[in-house]
Structures are given as structure tokens and as C-alpha cells.
Amino acid sequence: MPLRTETTVEYHFDSAYLYYCKQHDCLRVSNNHEDSVLLQGVEQGDVDSFISNYIEYVLEDTDLMDAFKASVKRQLAKDVEKIDD
């Protein structure tokens, strides 16, 4: 079902579990580790941005924010190194 800009789909999860699937480059939200919604087009960078904003604006933890950003930079450097090999 293609979504239009004015479309909203609402789901209720009893016990939500969110994870990023690197193999499929998407975000998956499951209910009790069973039924799930696959969100295509939500890439790893989008998830990193969400986590960064969550740490900054919800947790308000600058030390954790700095550690997360450093970790993302290290991972990106590793990924670039793999591409160069």
C-alpha cells in the first residue's frame, strides 16, 4: 500500500521491540517478538540521528551524546576501511 503525505497508519503494540536490520537496511517494529512492521527507507543514518536526538533532547545526557557520536564515527571509519580493502 503506497502511503501518501496525508496518510497516517496507527498501530498498537502491547510490548514493542524496535531494531534495525542491517541486512535489509530497514527498521523493524515487532509486537512481543511476533507480528512486525517493516519500515523500508529508514536507513542506519536515520536511526543514528534518532538515537542522537533522543539522547540530546529526552535524556539530556551530553556525556552519553559525545560517546555515541564517537562510536558512530569509529564504525563509519571501519566501514570505509572495509570498502577500501
Q: Taking CA 5 as the corner, what is the angle to CA 3 and CA 10, rounded to the nearest 5 degrees? A: 60
First to last CA, the chain: 40
* pLDDT at position 7: 81
Q: Give the three cell numbers for residue 48.
A: 543514528
Q: In the sheet where 26-31 sits, what is the strand order?
A: 16-21, 26-31, 36-40
Task: Give CA–CA dist 73/65, Å, rounded.
Answer: 12
Whether the Cβ atoms of residue 3 and residue 9 lie closer than 8 Å to each other: yes
Instruction: Indicate the pLDDT class of residue 3, thresholds 50, 70 and 90.
Output: low
Has residue 15 got a pLDDT over 90? Answer: yes
* pLDDT at position 6: 79
Looking at residue 8, the DSSP 8-state letter turns out to be: -
pTM of the model: 0.72
